[in-house]
C-alpha cells in the first residue's frame, strides 16, 4: 500500500466524533429492522387455499426403503418404477398408521422428536384431507414453499411429483420451492386426499411448511418470485463471492505485501463454499461430510474475516488469532471423528455460539476504533457491512437453536452483497485516490523538474564563470612563470657571457679574440632564446628548421659541410619554450664543439622516431662530425656536464660517443602519449636510409 | 356530433319512467370452493312500480360464475304478489364471487 493510500485510510472523518458513530448505529438499526422484515418474507399467493392441518404417520416400522435408487430410471429392467415404489410406500404407511397424529403445519421435526421417537427414522407421511365444494374450473396446482429434505406428493393416490433423488444422499429442497400441477379431473368435488411423503437428512432438520392449493396461474407467478428469493439469489450471491474472491486474489497476487487482500479473497472463497448449502440440491458427498464441509467453510470465513479486519486496521493481534486457531482447529477436527449425533450437538451448542462471539468481537473491535477517532469513511463502510452480516448471523443462530422457525431459511448469505458493495467501494475509492495522488505528484514533479532545470542552468553559468576565473589565474601564473624562466635563462645564459665580457674589459690586456667569442656566444644565446619563444617553440620540426638556419651560416663561415636528415616528427610530450631552449642549447653546444675542436669537414644532423618494442617510442636527434674525436673531457671543462644537466632538465637522455672517426652527440626525447606509436614502416625506413633532406656544402 | 345527441336523447326518452335498483348483494368466498342457489325476494323501489328485468353485477368473480336461473314474470308487482328471483352460482377452490342483483322497474302499476 502506498503512503498516499494509507493517509487516505487513516484520515479522520472531519465531523464531530460522536456524530458518525451515531449515524453508524442508526444505519445498523435500520438494517436490523429491514432484516427482520426480510426474514418475514414468505409465500403468500393471492386467495390460495392454505392447508395447515395434516395427519402425520412416521415410518417407525421401516415400511419405506431408506434409499430408493435413482438408477431405476435408467435401468433396462425396471420391475417396479420409482413412482410405484413411492406409492406403495405411502399406501403402506397410511394403513400402518391408520391413527395418524394430527399436526399443525409448518411442522418441524426437531421440536417433536421427544413426542415422536419414531421420527428418528427420518421418514414420514403427511395425509391431508381436502373437502372441496366446487368443481375444478381451471387447471390447479399444489405448492410446497419449503420442505426438508425431499418429498413426493400424491393426490388421491396419484403421484403429482417429487423433489429429486431419494437415494442417499437424498435431494435437499430446503430452499427450493416445489410446484406440482394437478391433472384436469383429478381434483374432485367432495373428499380428496393429499399425501406428502417426506424424507429428512439429518432428522432434526426435517420440516414441512404449509401447502397451498390454487389455480396454477396464481401459483406460478408467486412461485417464480419465491423461487428467485429462496433459490436463485443465493446462487447468484455464491457466484458473485467466487468472482470477487478471484478478483481480490489476483489483486493480492500483484501486491503480496498487502496480506489483507489475500485474506479477504480466501474469506470470500470460504463464504462462497458455505453459500452453496443454500442452493445445491444434489450434494456430491454424504450428508455428514457435506455438513462438515459447511462447518469448515463457515469457520474459515470467520477466522479469515477476523484476520482481515486486524490487518485492514493495521492492528496486529497475534495472540487473539493464535487463540482462535487453537480453539477452532481441534473443534473442527473433533467434529469429523465424533459420532454424528454428538458432532451435530457440538456444532449446535458449542461451535456456533463461539463463531457468533468472534463475529461480535470483530464488530466491537471496529466500533472501538471508531470511538478512538481513528475512523475513516472506509471504516464506516466496513462496520456497516459487518453489522449487517452479524445481524443475519444472529438470526441464523436463533433459527439453528430452534428459537425461530427454520421454514424461512437462513439469511447469512444475504449479507454478502452488502460486504461486496462495501469492499468494492473501498477499492474503488483507493483506486481513485491513488489516481488523483499520482496526477498531483506528476504535476508537482513537472514543476520540480522545471525548477531543477533552472537551478542547473544557474549552477552551470556559475561554474563557467568559475572556470573562466581559474583560467585567467592560470594564465597569469603561466605568464609569471614564463617571465621568471626568461629572466632565469637570461641570467644563466646571456648574463654569464656579458659578465665575462665586462671582466675582460676590466683587465689591463684585452684579449680581443676571447671578447669576440663571448660576444658571439652572447648573441647566439640571445638568438636561441628568441627562437625558443617563437611560434615554432612547440613544434620540434619547425624548431629544428630554425636551428638549421642559425648554424648554416656558422658552418659556411668555417667551411664545413652540413648534412641534414630530419624525418617527419611526432609531438614531443610537454614540449614548450623551456624545453625547446634547453634542447637548442644542447644542440648548439654540440655544433660549437664540432666547429671548435673536431677539425672535421662535415657535420650531420639527423632526427627521427625510434621504435622500441614493448616501450613508448622516442625521438632521436643526433649530431655527428667526422673529426678527430676526443679521448676524455678536459679538466675543468663544463661543456658535457652542462649538456647532461640540460638533458636531465628536459627529461631527455643524452649519449655522447667519440672515436678516431668523429664525435656523436645523441638526444632522446620521449614522444607524447598516443603520438609516434602509429609510425608507419615507410617513415621508419626513410629515416634509416637517411635520404631525406640531405644537404651538402 | 349530431348523431351522438340523437342517441342521447333517444336513451333518455326510452328510460323515462324506468328505475334501477340494487336489490341484494352476495359474497361466496369459500377457499375450498362451492356452489349453490341464492334466492331473492324483490321489492319495488317505489309505489306503482312493476318488475321489468334484472341482471347481475360482479365486483369479484374468480374462478367461478353465477347466472339468474329464475326470473319473476314481467310486470310482477311486489305490492300485490311475491316476485322471487333465483341465482345459481359456483366457484372453485381459491376462487370467490361477490355480486349484486340489480332489478329494473317501471311505473304503471297503479
**Contact yes or no for A133 and B33 at CB 8 A:** yes
Mean pLDDT along residues A512-535: 81
A381 neighbors A325 (Cβ within 8 angstroms):
no
- Indicate if the pLDDT at residue A464 is higher than 90: yes
Residue A306: pLDDT band with limits 50, 70, 90: very high
Of the candidates B35, B90, B94, the beta carbon closest to that of A213 is on B94
* Residues 6 or more apart whose Cβ sits within 8 Å of residue A163: A144, A147, A150, A151, A152, A171, A173, A176, A178, A281
Q: What is the pLDDT of residue A71?
A: 66
Based on the fold, state whether residues A377 and A427 are members of the same structural domain: yes
Of the candidates A50, A131, A137, the beta carbon closest to that of B92 is on A137
Q: What is the pLDDT of residue A695?
A: 40
Based on the fold, state whether residues A297 and A148 are members of the same structural domain: no
Of the candidates A130, A133, A187, the beta carbon closest to that of B34 is on A133
Sheet holding A147-148, edge to edge: A107-108, A207-208, A147-148
Residue A473: pLDDT band with limits 50, 70, 90: very high
Enumerate residues 13 to 72 of chain B having a beta carbon within 8 A of any beta carbon in chain A: 29-35, 62-65
Q: What is the pLDDT of residue A20?
A: 64
Q: May I ask the CATH class of domain B19-107?
A: mainly beta
Q: What is the pLDDT of residue A5?
A: 38
Q: Which of A129, A130, A133 to mutate to test the interface with B (most CBs of B within 10 A)?
A: A133
Please report the sign of the dihedral spanned by the C-alpha atoms of residue A285, residue A335, residue A266, residue A357. Answer: positive
Closest alpha carbon to A352 in A310, A308, A420, A291: A291
- Indicate if the pLDDT at residue A38 is higher than 80: no
C-alpha to C-alpha distance for A335 and A347, rounded to whole angstroms = 8
Enumerate residues 156 to 195 of chain A having a beta carbon within 8 A of any beta carbon in chain B: 187, 189
A47 touching chain B per CB within 8 A: yes
Q: Which of A51, A132, A134, A213 to mutate to test the interface with B (most CBs of B within 10 A)?
A: A134
**Contact yes or no for B94 and A137 at CB 8 A:** no
- Indicate if the pLDDT at residue A244 is higher than 70: yes
Mean pLDDT along residues B99-105: 92
> Residue B53: beta bridge partners?
B104
A377 neighbors A9 (Cβ within 8 angstroms):
no
Q: What is the pLDDT of residue B26?
A: 95
Mean pLDDT along residues A159-163: 89
Q: What is the CA radius of gyration of chain A?
A: 58
**Shortest alpha-carbon distance between residue A112 and chain B (Å):** 30
B93 touching chain A per CB within 8 A: yes
Q: For residue A473, is it within any domain?
A: no
Which has more pLDDT, A91 or B35? B35
Q: What is the pLDDT of residue A117?
A: 63
A134 touching chain B per CB within 8 A: yes
- Chain-centre distance for alpha carbon A548: 77
Q: How much of chain A, in percent, has pLDDT values that exceed 70?
A: 86
Least confident of A143-147, A435-439, A598-602, B96-100: A598-602
C-alpha to C-alpha distance for B67 and A247, rounded to whole angstroms = 66
**Shortest alpha-carbon distance between residue B66 and chain A (Å):** 13
Residues of chain B contacting A47 with CB distance shorter than 8 Å: 29, 31, 62, 94-96
**Of A228, A248, A282, which residue is a domain's last?**
A228
Of the candidates B30, B35, B94, the beta carbon closest to that of A214 is on B94
Q: Using CB atoms within 10 A of its CB, is residue A689 exposed (0-12), middle (13-18) or buried (19+)? A: exposed
Q: Is beta strand A150-155 parallel, antiparallel or unpaired with respect to B34-41?
A: unpaired
Q: What is the pLDDT of residue A150?
A: 92
**Shortest alpha-carbon distance between residue B103 and chain A (Å):** 28
Mean pLDDT along residues A25-33: 72
Please report the sign of the dihedral spanned by the C-alpha atoms of residue A483, residue A487, residue A488, residue A490. Answer: positive
Least confident of A215-219, A245-249, B5-9, B29-33: B5-9
**Shortest alpha-carbon distance between residue A138 and chain B (Å):** 7
Phi, psi of A462 (to 5 degrees): -65, -40
**Shortest alpha-carbon distance between residue A421 and chain B (Å):** 42
C-alpha to C-alpha distance for A421 and A230, rounded to whole angstroms = 21
Q: What is the CATH number of the domain that holds A106?
A: 2.60.120.260
> Which grid cell sits at B87?
341465482
Q: What is the pLDDT of residue B1?
A: 59
Closest alpha carbon to B88 in A48, A140, A131, A134: A134
Residue A685: pLDDT band with limits 50, 70, 90: very low
Enumerate residues 571 to 630 of chain A having a beta carbon within 8 A of any beta carbon in chain B: none
Residues of chain B contacting A218 with CB distance shorter than 8 Å: 94
Residue A26: pLDDT band with limits 50, 70, 90: confident
pTM: 0.64
Based on the fold, state whether residues A570 and A616 are members of the same structural domain: yes
Dihedral (Cα; B97, A50, A152, A344), 10-degree rounding: 160
C-alpha to C-alpha distance for B92 and B62, rounded to whole angstroms = 8
Strands (E), B1-110: 18-28, 34-41, 49-70, 84-107
Residue A231: pLDDT band with limits 50, 70, 90: confident
Q: Which of B28, B30, B33 to mutate to test the interface with A (most CBs of A within 10 A)?
A: B33
Q: What is the pLDDT of residue A543?
A: 86
Closest alpha carbon to B34 in A187, A136, A215, A132: A132
Q: What is the pLDDT of residue A18?
A: 62
Residue B47: pLDDT band with limits 50, 70, 90: confident
Of the candidates A133, A137, A215, the beta carbon closest to that of B30 is on A133
Residues of chain B contacting A49 with CB distance shorter than 8 Å: 31-32, 93-94
- Indicate if the pLDDT at residue A267 is higher than 90: yes
Report the run of H or E that residue A51 belongs to, with start and end: strand A49-51
Least confident of A62-76, A170-184, A482-496: A62-76
- Indicate if the pLDDT at residue A680 is higher than 50: no
- Indicate if the pLDDT at residue A689 is higher than 60: no
A470 touching chain B per CB within 8 A: no
Based on the fold, state whether residues A60 and A206 are members of the same structural domain: yes
Q: For residue A55, is it within any domain?
A: yes
- Indicate if the pLDDT at residue A454 is higher than 90: yes
Q: What is the pLDDT of residue A351?
A: 94
Least confident of A442-446, A577-581, B38-42: A577-581
Q: For residue A441, is it within any domain?
A: no
Closest alpha carbon to A107 in A206, A235, A237: A206
Least confident of A64-73, A113-122, A392-401, A678-687: A678-687
Q: For residue A599, is it within any domain?
A: yes
By C-alpha distance, the chain A residue nearest B91 is A134
By C-alpha distance, the chain A residue nearest B90 is A134
- Domain region containing A676: 538-689
Of the candidates B31, B34, B92, the beta carbon closest to that of A136 is on B92
Of the candidates B65, B90, B96, the beta carbon closest to that of A47 is on B96
| Best mean pLDDT range from A260-274, A484-498, A641-655, B45-59 | A260-274
Based on the fold, state whether residues A208 and A258 are members of the same structural domain: no
Residue B106: pLDDT band with limits 50, 70, 90: confident
Q: What is the pLDDT of residue A509?
A: 79
Query: Chain-wide mean pLDDT for chain A?
Result: 83
Which has more pLDDT, A334 or A613? A334
Q: Which of A53, A137, A143 to mutate to test the interface with B (most CBs of B within 10 A)?
A: A137
Least confident of A89-98, A399-408, A509-518: A89-98
Residue A1: pLDDT band with limits 50, 70, 90: very low
Task: Dump pLDDT digits (tens) for A333-349.
Answer: 999 999 888 898 899 99
Neighbours of A190 (CB within 10 A): 8
Q: What is the pLDDT of residue A76?
A: 67
**Contact yes or no for B93 and A50 at CB 8 A:** no
C-alpha to C-alpha distance for A467 and A623, rounded to whole angstroms = 45
Based on the fold, state whether residues A640 and A543 are members of the same structural domain: yes
C-alpha to C-alpha distance for A269 and A293, rounded to whole angstroms = 13
**Contact yes or no for B91 and A137 at CB 8 A:** yes
Query: Chain-wide mean pLDDT for chain B?
Result: 83
Residue A379: pLDDT band with limits 50, 70, 90: confident
* Residues 6 or more apart whose Cβ sits within 8 Å of residue A635: none
By C-alpha distance, the chain A residue nearest B94 is A48
Counted domains in chain A:
3
**Contact yes or no for A218 and B94 at CB 8 A:** yes
Based on the fold, state whether residues A159 and A265 are members of the same structural domain: no
- Indicate if the pLDDT at residue A269 is higher than 50: yes
Residue A116: pLDDT band with limits 50, 70, 90: low
Based on the fold, state whether residues A279 and A345 are members of the same structural domain: yes
> Residue A150: beta bridge partners?
A199
Residue B48: pLDDT band with limits 50, 70, 90: confident
**Shortest alpha-carbon distance between residue A186 and chain B (Å):** 13
Based on the fold, state whether residues A162 and A304 are members of the same structural domain: no
**Of A435, A454, A473, which residue is a domain's last?**
A435
**Of A403, A419, A435, which residue is a domain's last?**
A435
> Which grid cell sits at A81?
418404477
Q: For residue A522, is it within any domain?
A: no
By C-alpha distance, the chain B residue nearest A50 is B31
- Indicate if the pLDDT at residue B23 is higher than 60: yes
Helices A512-533, A416-492: axis angle to 10 degrees equals 160
Residue A37: pLDDT band with limits 50, 70, 90: low
Based on the fold, state whether residues A145 and A288 are members of the same structural domain: no
Q: What is the pLDDT of residue A358?
A: 94
Q: What is the pLDDT of residue A574?
A: 76
Based on the fold, state whether residues A341 and A193 are members of the same structural domain: no
Q: What is the pLDDT of residue A380?
A: 84
A384 neighbors A28 (Cβ within 8 angstroms):
yes
Of the candidates A133, A138, A215, the beta carbon closest to that of B32 is on A133
C-alpha to C-alpha distance for A464 and A474, rounded to whole angstroms = 15
Based on the fold, state whether residues A294 and A431 are members of the same structural domain: yes
Domain ranges of chain B: 19-107
ipTM exceeding the 0.95 mark: no
Residues of chain A contacting B94 with CB distance shorter than 8 Å: 47-49, 140, 213-215, 218
Closest alpha carbon to A338 in A354, A350, A326: A350
- Indicate if the pLDDT at residue A634 is higher than 80: no
Q: What is the CATH number of the domain that holds A614?
A: 3.30.565.10
- Indicate if the pLDDT at residue A275 is higher than 90: yes
Q: Which of B27, B29, B36, B63 to mutate to test the interface with A (most CBs of A within 10 A)?
A: B63
Enumerate residues 136 to 155 of chain A having a beta carbon within 8 A of any beta carbon in chain B: 136-138, 140
Residues of chain B contacting A184 with CB distance shorter than 8 Å: none
Amino acid at each position: 500500500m502506498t503512503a498516499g493510500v494509507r493517509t487516505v485510510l487513516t484520515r479522520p472523518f472531519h465531523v464531530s466524533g460522536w456524530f458518525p458513530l451515531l449515524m453508524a448505529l442508526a444505519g445498523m438499526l435500520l438494517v436490523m429492522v429491514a432484516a427482520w422484515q426480510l426474514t418475514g418474507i414468505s409465500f403468500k399467493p393471492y386467495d390460495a387455499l392454505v392447508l395447515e392441518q395434516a395427519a402425520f404417520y412416521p415410518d417407525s416400522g421401516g415400511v419405506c426403503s431408506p434409499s430408493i435408487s435413482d438408477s431405476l430410471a435408467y435401468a433396462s429392467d425396471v420391475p417396479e418404477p420409482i413412482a410405484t415404489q413411492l406409492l406403495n410406500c405411502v399406501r403402506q404407511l397410511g394403513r400402518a398408521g391408520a391413527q395418524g397424529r394430527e399436526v399443525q403445519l409448518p411442522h418441524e421435526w426437531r421440536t417433536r422428536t421427544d413426542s415422536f421417537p419414531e421420527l428418528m427414522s427420518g421418514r414420514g407421511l403427511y395425509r391431508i384431507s381436502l373437502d372441496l365444494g366446487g368443481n375444478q374450473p381451471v387447471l390447479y396446482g399444489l405448492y410446497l414453499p419449503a420442505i426438508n429434505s425431499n418429498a413426493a406428493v400424491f393426490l388421491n393416490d396419484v403421484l403429482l411429483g417429487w423433489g429429486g433423488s431419494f437415494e442417499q444422499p437424498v435431494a435437499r429442497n430446503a430452499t427450493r420451492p416445489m410446484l406440482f400441477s394437478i391433472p384436469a379431473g383429478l381434483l374432485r368435488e367432495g373428499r380428496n386426499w393429499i399425501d406428502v411423503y417426506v424424507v429428512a437428512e439429518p432428522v432434526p432438520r426435517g420440516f414441512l411448511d404449509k401447502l397451498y392449493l390454487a389455480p396454477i396461474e396464481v401459483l406460478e407467478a408467486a412461485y417464480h418470485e419465491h423461487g428467485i428469493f429462496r433459490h436463485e439469489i443465493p446462487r447468484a450471491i455464491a457466484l458473485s463471492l467466487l468472482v470477487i474472491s478471484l478478483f481480490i486474489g489476483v489483486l493480492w497476487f500483484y501486491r503480496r505485501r498487502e496480506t489483507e487482500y489475500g485474506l479477504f479473497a480466501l474469506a470470500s472463497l470460504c463464504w462462497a463454499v458455505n453459500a452453496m448449502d443454500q442452493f445445491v440440491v444434489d450434494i456430491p458427498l454424504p450428508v455428514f461430510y457435506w455438513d462438515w464441509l459447511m462447518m469448515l467453510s463457515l469457520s474459515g470465513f470467520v477466522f479469515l474475516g477476523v484476520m482481515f479486519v486486524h490487518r485492514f486496521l493495521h492492528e496486529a493481534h497475534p495472540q487473539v488469532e493464535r487463540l482462535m486457531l487453537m480453539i477452532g482447529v481441534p473443534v473442527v477436527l473433533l467434529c469429523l471423528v465424533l459420532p454424528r449425533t454428538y458432532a451435530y450437538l457440538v456444532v449446535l451448542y458449542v461451535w456456533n455460539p463461539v463463531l457468533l462471539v468472534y463475529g461480535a468481537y470483530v464488530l466491537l473491535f471496529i466500533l472501538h476504533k471508531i470511538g478512538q477517532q481513528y475512523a475513516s469513511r472506509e471504516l464506516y463502510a466496513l462496520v456497516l457491512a459487518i453489522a449487517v452480516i452479524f445481524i443475519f448471523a444472529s438470526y441464523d443462530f436463533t433459527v439453528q437453536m430452534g428459537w425461530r422457525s427454520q421454514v424461512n431459511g437462513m439469511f447469512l448469505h444475504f449479507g454478502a452483497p452488502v460486504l461486496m458493495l462495501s469492499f468494492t467501494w473501498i477499492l474503488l475509492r483507493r483506486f481513485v485516490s491513488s489516481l488523483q495522488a499520482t496526477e498531483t505528484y506528476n504535476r508537482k514533479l513537472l514543476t520540480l523538474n522545471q525548477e531543477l532545470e533552472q537551478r542547473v542552468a544557474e549552477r552551470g553559468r556559475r561554474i563557467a564563470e568559475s572556470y573562466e576565473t581559474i583560467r585567467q589565474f592560470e594564465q597569469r601564473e603561466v605568464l609569471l612563470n614564463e617571465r621568471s624562466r626568461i629572466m632565469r635563462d637570461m641570467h644563466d645564459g646571456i648574463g654569464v657571457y656579458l659578465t665575462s665580457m665586462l671582466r675582460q674589459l676590466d683587465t689591463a690586456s684585452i684579449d680581443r679574440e676571447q671578447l669576440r667569442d663571448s660576444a658571439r656566444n652572447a648573441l647566439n644565446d640571445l638568438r636561441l632564446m628568441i627562437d625558443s619563444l617563437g611560434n615554432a617553440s612547440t613544434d620540434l620540426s619547425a624548431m629544428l628548421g630554425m636551428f638549421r638556419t642559425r648554424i648554416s651560416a656558422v658552418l659556411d663561415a668555417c667551411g664545413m659541410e652540413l648534412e641534414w636528415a630530419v624525418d617527419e616528427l611526432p609531438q614531443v610530450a610537454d614540449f614548450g619554450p623551456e624545453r625547446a631552449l634547453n634542447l637548442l642549447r644542447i644542440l648548439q653546444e654540440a655544433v660549437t664543439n664540432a666547429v671548435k675542436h673536431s677539425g672535421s669537414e662535415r657535420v650531420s644532423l639527423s632526427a627521427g622516431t625510434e621504435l622500441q618494442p614493448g616501450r613508448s617510442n622516442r625521438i632521436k636527434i643526433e649530431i655527428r662530425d667526422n673529426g678527430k674525436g676526443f679521448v676524455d673531457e678536459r679538466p675543468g671543462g663544463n661543456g658535457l656536464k652542462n649538456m647532461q644537466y640540460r638533458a636531465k632538465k628536459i627529461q631527455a637522455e643524452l649519449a655522447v660517443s667519440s672515436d678516431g672517426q668523429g664525435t656523436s652527440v645523441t638526444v632522446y626525447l620521449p614522444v607524447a602519449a598516443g603520438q609516434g606509436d602509429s609510425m608507419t614502416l615507410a617513415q621508419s625506413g626513410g629515416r634509416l636510409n637517411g635520404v631525406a633532406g640531405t644537404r651538402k656544402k | 356530433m349530431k348523431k351522438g345527441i340523437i342517441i342521447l336523447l333517444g336513451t333518455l326518452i326510452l328510460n323515462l319512467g324506468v328505475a334501477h335498483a340494487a336489490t341484494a348483494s352476495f359474497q361466496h368466498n369459500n377457499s375450498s370452493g362451492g356452489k349453490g342457489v341464492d334466492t331473492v325476494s324483490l321489492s319495488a323501489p317505489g309505489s306503482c312500480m312493476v318488475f321489468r328485468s334484472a341482471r347481475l353485477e360482479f365486483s369479484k368473480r374468480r374462478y367461478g360464475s353465477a347466472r339468474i336461473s329464475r326470473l319473476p314474470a314481467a310486470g310482477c308487482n311486489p305490492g300485490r304478489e311475491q316476485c322471487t328471483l333465483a341465482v345459481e352460482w359456483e366457484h372453485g377452490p381459491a376462487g370467490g364471487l361477490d355480486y349484486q342483483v340489480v332489478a329494473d322497474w317501471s311505473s304503471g302499476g297503479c
